[in-house]
Structure 1
């Protein structure tokens, strides 16, 4: 290994590819949404319910994943999780009933995707002190690339071969890519006789070294922990509702299926910009300022979504919303590391992310139910706006945790 090349950059590259595969498949579910409606006659509540179960399982198991990553490292965790996720997609090839949808996508894929955020970003946080926000943003940029490419590939596969073969092929590729990239992951620099980038410039009292910081019990006693949890619940309530329902909403507004998928891919493309720019901004701004920017952009996009009548303006919505979407995921892990250190980062981040997945579980399911009852998403989008305002107020209440650096 060259001494001139910091191994942490390989961690970031591998994490980015893993994120690309996982999140691309999440966005591809929106492509399959209308296919399930057409073939099986399932309601939007039923179909979005599987996505909600997926998010809930991801959140619950994410806590376990966080502790396992702290203890065993990301390579083993991501290998096992990648196999589980791919098997879920492979089994969807033969799906004919709703219980199979909930078992294969809701449970198996939910267990597999639990590692995508915690195991990758917790590891990046351990390898970087300087440029932590930027590196987290670059790792998350892979998710944005996946959100552009995988739905388009999935749509092309559906048109050419049908949704069943599309699921089969996506499962095979996910298995190969995730497991291969997992082999490059290492828990922390100490395992290779290295230090985190920027550690040499920190004072002896900082919490930014690999084994320093608060444990979960200590973090729970801090007000900032609960603010981060509630803010993550608010943003993921909105984010996963949009990801799940924007394609059928676009079709309802008069877009063709392919154009509605393009809206979804536009969100993914713009999220790349948000992940990198807001990740880099995090290194210069506070967690408070970074989160407030994200919620302000989210609120702006939701107001546009509710006030515009031209379906083509969904692309403008996608631009603004996409930047916010990417920003939320870029700043989450660095915020946890900056407040609570990296000693138990995986476990603490896992709990914060679990709070978020509670929102990601309820949001798509509730919005699907609202649509089934009213025939529109008007009330659902108004509810999202309320959560965006709530998150903005929460973020404004964040203050530095001075006790951590003592």
Structure 2
């Protein structure tokens, strides 16, 4: 007679995926790319609506830019907590909740009549939702699912933001101009809900859940650290520990300037600045979409470079080139498309967010397993810089009648970023790599 009590079957040992099968890491990366494409489109809408809202409600550029500033600030401050929440509750749950928050926030704007309602809906709700899918999301996905080609995949996912502008901005600009801004925000709301479906269906948390090793890994790695505690406390603990490092402040400072000179200034004010010079909104939106086209190439190339070259030298090069291009921009605007502004779009587009892959790599080098949360805090500085400049550029436009001072100041900020990156030290000894 056999004993009725049996030992539970052991959990499957993760093994490398068969060579002939597509590793599921690429499926997860594809879902992440779709999410990031959508979230970029969601964030781009206020810049398209600025003139329409001014015409309908009489709100100043500074008032509308304040909603963008709140959005950008919360987008950044949410990121480190979102990374900890993903560790605690799972990527899928956090991302789905974020997408639904964007859907609600965008949809409610069709009912607004006061500027504070714009700040609440687009500033607070859309800011919180999009921030939960910020750079910490891409860093978490690549850190868990990839050992080989981390820089390249990070570059591709970062470029998804530019692709979002490419997909959404010309369509949304046309909708704002032909059908009204309310139609555009309804499209954004429905798109956010639709993107949640593949996340629910296909997103998985870790390779071990499917009995796999991360892509490129050859042996089983240490288990992920326990995350039963408070996500809030863990995020603050990581910040406290990271803030003792000079590298953290150099990365945060340079990335704040990155945000100021991209999302804060160009992403928010390029379209109204071009319109000030007589360019139609749809044409200006198409130019910003072209920035996205070239950024896809530039950021993917940056990811490839990051796998092969010194990340510090890459950042120095990127910020120097960006500063030069912004100093020339005020002389390039015109009422129609001309070769000089197209040259700026190409040059600036290649550099738009090429800074992300080397910045993520430096976070991994200096902070190991805590890199996703540390990058979340670095990203928070990026968005705070973006928020400050988004608001200040609107004030400058109202005060001086143009954006020239803002463009020149941005060029000077890029010179400061170059100095900060030059001050970064090399990889510290004894920092362990992040586990899967």
Regarding TM over 0.5, the answer is yes
**For residue 13 of structure 2, what is the aligned residue in structure 1?**
none
Deviation at 1:180, TM superposition (A): 2.8
Match of 1:146 among 156, 160, 164: 164
Q: Which runs of 5+ in 2 are unaligned?
A: 1-15, 227-236
Match of 2:361 among 334, 343, 346: 334
**For residue 248 of structure 1, what is the aligned residue in structure 2?**
272
Cα 1:99–1:281 shift into 2, 3 Å: same
User: Which structure has more helix as a fraction of its residues?
Assistant: 1
Q: Which runs of 5+ in 1 are unaligned?
A: none
Distance (Å, rounded) in 2 between the aligned partners of 1:120 and 1:168: 27
Cα 1:367–1:41 shift into 2, 3 Å: same
**For residue 226 of structure 1, what is the aligned residue in structure 2?**
249
Deviation at 1:322, TM superposition (A): 1.4
Q: Give the total of aligned pairs.
A: 400
Distance (Å, rounded) in 2 between the aligned partners of 1:307 and 1:92: 36
Does the CA contact (< 8 Å) of 2:37 and 2:160 recur in 1?
yes
Q: 4+ runs of 1 displaced by more than 6 Å? A: none
Distance (Å, rounded) in 1 between the aligned partners of 2:154 and 2:289: 21
Cα 1:50–1:74 shift into 2, 3 Å: same
Query: What SS does the corresponding residue of 1:285 show, helix, strand or coil?
Result: coil
Residue 107 in 1 paired to residue 124 in 2?
A: yes
TM-score with structure 2 setting the length: 0.86
Deviation at 1:69, TM superposition (A): 1.5
Cα 1:216–1:106 shift into 2, 3 Å: closer
Deviation at 1:102, TM superposition (A): 0.4
- What RMSD, in angstroms, separates the aligned Cα atoms of the two structures? 2.4
Distance (Å, rounded) in 2 between the aligned partners of 1:374 and 1:216: 39
**For residue 72 of structure 1, what is the aligned residue in structure 2?**
89
CA deviation string 1:148-194 (max 9, x = no partner): 12011112222342111221122111111145335433333233333
Cα 1:68–1:183 shift into 2, 3 Å: farther
**For residue 374 of structure 2, what is the aligned residue in structure 1?**
348
**For residue 45 of structure 1, what is the aligned residue in structure 2?**
62
Does the CA contact (< 8 Å) of 2:324 and 2:411 recur in 1?
no
Distance (Å, rounded) in 1 between the aligned partners of 2:47 and 2:402: 17
**For residue 89 of structure 1, what is the aligned residue in structure 2?**
106
Distance (Å, rounded) in 1 between the aligned partners of 2:185 and 2:144: 35
**For residue 32 of structure 1, what is the aligned residue in structure 2?**
49
Deviation at 1:266, TM superposition (A): 1.2
**For residue 324 of structure 1, what is the aligned residue in structure 2?**
351
Distance (Å, rounded) in 2 between the aligned partners of 1:266 and 1:178: 27
Deviation at 1:201, TM superposition (A): 8.2
Match of 2:387 among 353, 357, 361: 361
Cα 1:310–1:35 shift into 2, 3 Å: closer
Cα 1:144–1:33 shift into 2, 3 Å: same
Residue 171 in 1 paired to residue 189 in 2?
A: yes
Aligned pairs (5 A) from 1:236-385? 236-240=259-263, 241-308=265-332, 310=334, 312=338, 313-341=340-368, 343-385=369-411
TM-score with structure 1 setting the length: 0.92
